[in-house]
């Protein structure tokens, strides 16, 4: 008898949970029916803290409260930025020089990095020339690994990939004539 009563109690408890959840899923709320909510409009969570989704949930409808990640605006590509730079240079009056300096991280020999910095600077110069910037105004050079903007290694001596990535760059400086005689 005890066993039957115990099973009946479990069945009754399961029914109560099921019927309590049904109105929550059917309720139209500020979340647009994509999450199960309690009678107070609060999103119902599972034992692991995750929001309980309804069949109408999609990633596009997700909310920050339940882990939606805001999509950052797309970063301009190097090509886009260089195209804009070329346009700005071509419109500039009294522009005398465009200095293009290639930089590297500290991986490899100093000689290799110096040559790599030159290749980077020359690639940017060639791109700007294709966009109409006068070659006679451009000066391409290399600093190789000599002017890092971030540490190539961590304080404990281990590799620092994020720092090395920041050191692999090309800097473009424009010099304008201030006065003409």
Q: In this model, does residue 162 exceed pLDDT 70?
A: yes
CB 127 within 8 A of CB 147: no
Burial class (CB in 10 A: 0-12, 13-18, 19+), 83: middle
Helix (H) or strand (E) holding 176: strand 169-176
Q: Which one is predicted more confidently, 133 or 180?
A: 133
Average pLDDT over residues 40-57: 82
Average pLDDT over residues 96-106: 95
* Confidence class for position 170, pLDDT limits 50, 70, 90: very high
Q: In this model, does residue 42 exceed pLDDT 70?
A: yes
CB 38 within 8 A of CB 44: yes
Q: How far apart are the C-alpha atoms of 42 and 163, rounded to whole Å?
A: 44
Domain residue spans of the chain: 2-58, 78-176
Q: How far apart are the C-alpha atoms of 170 and 40, rounded to whole Å?
A: 57
**Least confidently predicted of 8-12, 15-19, 39-43, 73-77:** 15-19
Average pLDDT over residues 143-169: 93
The two structure tokens encoding residue 126: 């060639």
Considering only CA atoms, give the Rg of the chain: 31
- Domain 78-176 part of CATH 3.30.1330.60: yes
At 6 the pLDDT is 55
Q: Which one is predicted more confidently, 165 or 37?
A: 165
């Amino acid at each position: 008898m005890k066993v039957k009563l115990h099973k009946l109690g479990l069945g009754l408890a399961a029914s109560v949970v099921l019927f309590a959840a049904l109105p929550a899923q059917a309720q139209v709320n500020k979340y647009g029916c994509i999450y199960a909510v309690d009678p107070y409009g609060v999103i119902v969570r599972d034992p692991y803290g995750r929001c309980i989704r309804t069949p109408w949930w999609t990633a596009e409808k997700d909310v920050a409260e339940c882990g939606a990640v805001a999509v950052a605006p797309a970063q301009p590509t190097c090509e886009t930025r260089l195209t804009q730079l070329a346009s700005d240079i071509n419109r500039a009056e009294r522009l005398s020089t465009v200095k293009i300096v290639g930089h590297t991280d500290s991986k490899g020999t100093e000689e290799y990095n110096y040559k790599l910095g030159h290749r980077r600077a020359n690639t940017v110069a060639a791109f700007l020339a294709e966009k109409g910037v006068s070659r006679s105004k451009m000066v391409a050079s290399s600093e190789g690994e000599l002017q890092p903007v971030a540490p190539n290694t961590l304080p404990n001596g281990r590799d620092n990939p994020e720092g090395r990535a920041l050191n692999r760059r090309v800097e473009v400086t424009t010099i304008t004539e201030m006065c003409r005689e």
